Amino acid sequence: MDQKNKPFYLILFVLALVVNFVGIGNDFFSDDPGLYASLAKSMVYQGDVMQLFSYNVDWLDKPHFPFWAACLSFKLFGINVWAYRLPALLFFLLSLLYTWLFTRKFYTEEVAYIAVLIVMTAQHVLISNVDVRAEPYLMGLVIGSIYHIAKLHDRYTLTHLLLAALLTAFAIMTKGIFVIVAIYGALLGQLVFQRRLKELIKPKWWFLFLTTFIFTIPELYSLYVQFDLHPEKVVFGRQGVSGIKWFLWDSQFGRFLNSGPIRQQKSGDIFFFVHTLLWAFAPWCLFFYYGLFKSVKSIVQKVTLPEYYTIAGGLLLLLLFSASKFQLPFYTNAIFPLFAIITAPHFCRQLSKAANIYRKATQWLAIILLPALAVAIHVFSKPPSPVWFFVDCILIGAMVVLIITKTPNSGQRVFMLNCCAVLFANLYMNSTFFKLLAGYNGQIDAAKFVNEPSSLAAHLYSVNASNNVFQFYSNRPVDYLDLAAFKKFKSDKPTMFFFGQPSIDYLNANHVQFKVVKTFINYPQENILPAFINKETRPRTLDRVYIITK
């Protein structure tokens, strides 16, 4: 590696850390983080980490691990948005560490630097570190498991066996058993392409599988306690639901076939992730496809690769997701470190003339478009304060000048400028625009209202299970009431209800009597519409949310 590049990689690493962490205290602007945070908050309120409740009702969907992590953070730092995001960001840092360790094991130091920076600057990673769900956890757990399996493959040590098993179990307790397709698929691919498949019969691998199962027992036991011990509970509209069966089968294969109680309206598209990755793994996706093509071509031509873990694990899970009938854009985040490792070596290699033009063209496309998009959003959205925009221009602008004037290698210079383009756009989004967006989340204002001393005596209800931001920001438990039951609802105690505009319209259409206590402006979409970005047309994208009484 040219040692002159090293300081620039390190500075970019620090800048990327800043961009990924700058939104840690932002208010929620989508529902899922509100749900996840509410589930962890419920653990704190009830003093029970085995059972999951939303609106004080049994909740069966995702495994426990992210909620355990957030619950621990809440107990240490209090119940707030940054304490919710903190453990996820720590696992994001773990993904960077293991990306470095794995890449350094099989490739050069410069390839390791580039792989880490690709992970840090992938578009959906930057979004997911603000709009936190389970993905930052999975990134660290999947690449970490594969790294320790790779070390275990080289030489048996108890440390690597226990860490591989523990991280794999944590991954299973975060997303379900399908994650082992990437983890064990990576091992299987390595053994198949090395023609050492017989090594699977070695005791160390069976000890690994057994230990992984043992480490997963807390999840199985928690589900058993909450659901299997209580067949009388009504879940998904029926009784006798087994939590363990749901975890091992229904939650995975039900989603895969889109036949379970939780379904997408639109069934899966085999090419969904091919085009989704164009923005989710931007600005690296187009060159990742090149790296993937070259790796597959080398395998077909029987050219030995430095390792096969990344292409086997990454490609197997990508194919599984593509075949699934239930698809969401953030599913592939878990294997972005594998994609980064597949892509990174090709930034350090001499390519053919055509391939070199392609490499530069894919990057210059992002270098031009991403900053231009950020500037356009700033101009049209007219945020209350332009301070962070100017900080962004000065900080990233200074880095661009340094790179242009001090970096001798044109190929690495373009790569660094590409990183700067992503960081410029996302520093603006995380520091300014997402704050603006969250400012139009009426659920937050409604929660602040019911948290005022004058409203503390009222028992709270929501008539929509998707009002989870209100549930989280409220400083006391919120119960669920079916909208159809509101008309006949009676209570001797003071009560307040959170209603969205569609629910209010339902009451009016059915001539149900109610009293509006307070109304709040609200942006009802999770997708960011162009009309919302433009301050002049923003009012027509807004509706209202309400605190009402009977």
Mean pLDDT by 10 residues, the chain (550 residues): 87 98 97 98 96 96 97 98 98 98 98 98 98 97 98 96 98 96 97 95 96 98 97 92 92 70 69 93 97 97 97 95 82 96 96 96 97 98 96 97 90 96 98 97 98 95 96 97 93 95 96 96 95 98 97
DSSP state of 345: G
In this structure, what token pair is assigned to residue 276? 């989704």
Q: So what's the pLDDT on residue 171?
A: 98
Q: Residue 290 is encoded by which pair of tokens?
A: 């090149």
Q: How far is CA 168 from the centre of its chain?
A: 18
Under a CB-based contact definition with an 8 Å cutoff, are residues 41 and 74 in contact?
Answer: yes
The pLDDT assigned to 281 comes to: 97
Closest to 116 measured CA to CA, from 292, 324, 339, 269: 339
What pLDDT score was predicted for residue 328?
A: 82
Hey, CA dihedral for 327, 137, 244, 201, is it positive or negative?
A: positive
Geometric angle at alpha carbon 420, from 418 and 426, rounded to 5°: 110
**How far are the Cα atoms of 44, 211, 231 from residue 50, in angstroms, in the given order?**
11, 21, 17
Residue 260 pLDDT = 61
- Amino acid in the structure at residue 154: D
Decide if 429 contacts 123 (C-beta within 8 A).
no
- The DSSP letter of residue 87 is H
3-state secondary structure of 316: helix
Distance of CA 343 to the CA centre of its chain: 21
Distance CA 79, CA 241 (A): 32
pLDDT at 259: 62
Coil, helix or strand at residue 518: strand
Which contiguous run of DSSP H or E holds residue 173? helix 158-175
Record the tokens describing residue 432, joined without a space.
Answer: 């300014």
Looking at residue 265, what is its pLDDT?
Answer: 58
Residue 257: burial class (beta carbons within 10 Å; 0-12, 13-18, 19+):
middle
Instruction: Compute the distance between CA of residue 112 and CA of residue 115 in angstroms, rounded to an integer.
Output: 5
